[in-house]
Amino acid sequence: MGLDLEYIDRQTPLHEEEKDGLLIPSIATRGELDEFEQQNIEQAIQWALGRSLKLKVIFTEEFIRTVHKRMYADVWAWAGEFRKTNKSIGIDKWQIPTELKYLLDDARYWHENNIYSPEEIAVRFKYRIVSIHCFQNGNGRHSRLMADIIIEKMYRQPVFSWGAANLSGEGDTRSAYLKAIKAADKGDYSLLLAFARS
């Protein structure tokens, strides 16, 4: 029995060869997949937020990949690896390392020169990394955890609430989140900043 997934607005469909990376053969539905992924993600959150992390570690490709691997390694064989296929959203797969380096350099500059408030640095980082779409799946959840790591570990502020709801399913909270992302697409981060703390 193959993995049968239904996708909602702005969820990235997996190619068949990416589905082959599923490590738990008994998973057959989106609900089962979400449940196993959530267990893995909760372990990653405890790992990330339960340790001391410095700027020189956080803003590195290695750390970006490690966070994704920690979030999905119990479920997907390709956890922590950059995607090898193009998606309907995100940049071309070959541009991922270069664009990620630009983002990491920009983020260091924002921090070192106090270009934005701590919250705006974290939210802009979240937006840019999800726009790059480094991984086959889980980019939205990964980008939100990265923002939480930045705001808590670098700035000693509480993690974001992100609407205090599961954004993987359809509903008003996801609609508000997507509206905020679309505003950020046009350079307006105010809705995303407000949503992060809602």
**CA separation for the pair 114, 88 (Å, rounded):** 34
Residue 48 and residue 182 in contact, taking contact as beta carbons nearer than 8 Å: no
Domains belonging to the chain, first-starting first, are 16-196 (1.10.3290.10)
User: Is it the case that residue 1 has pLDDT exceeding 50?
Assistant: no
Task: Note the pLDDT of residue 109.
Answer: 97
Q: Tell me what pLDDT residue 4 has.
A: 60
Tell me the percentage of the chain whose pLDDT exceeds 70.
Answer: 91
User: What's the pLDDT score for residue 10?
Assistant: 53
Please give the model's pTM, rounded to 2 decimal places: 0.92
> Residue 3: pLDDT above 70?
no
| pLDDT at residue 88, as a whole number | 86
More confident residue, 167 or 82: 82
Over range 5-20, report the average pLDDT. Answer: 66
- 92 or 54, higher pLDDT: 92
Retrieve residue 21's tokens: 């990376």
Q: Report d(CA 154, CA 53) in Å as an integer.
A: 8
The pLDDT-based confidence of 9 (bands split at 50, 70, 90) is low
Question: How far, in Å, CA of 173 to CA of 163, rounded?
Answer: 6
Are 39 and 23 within 8 A, CB to CB? no
pLDDT tens digits along 29-52: 888 998 999 999 999 999 999 989
pLDDT tens digits, 85-120: 999 889 999 999 999 999 999 999 999 999 999 999
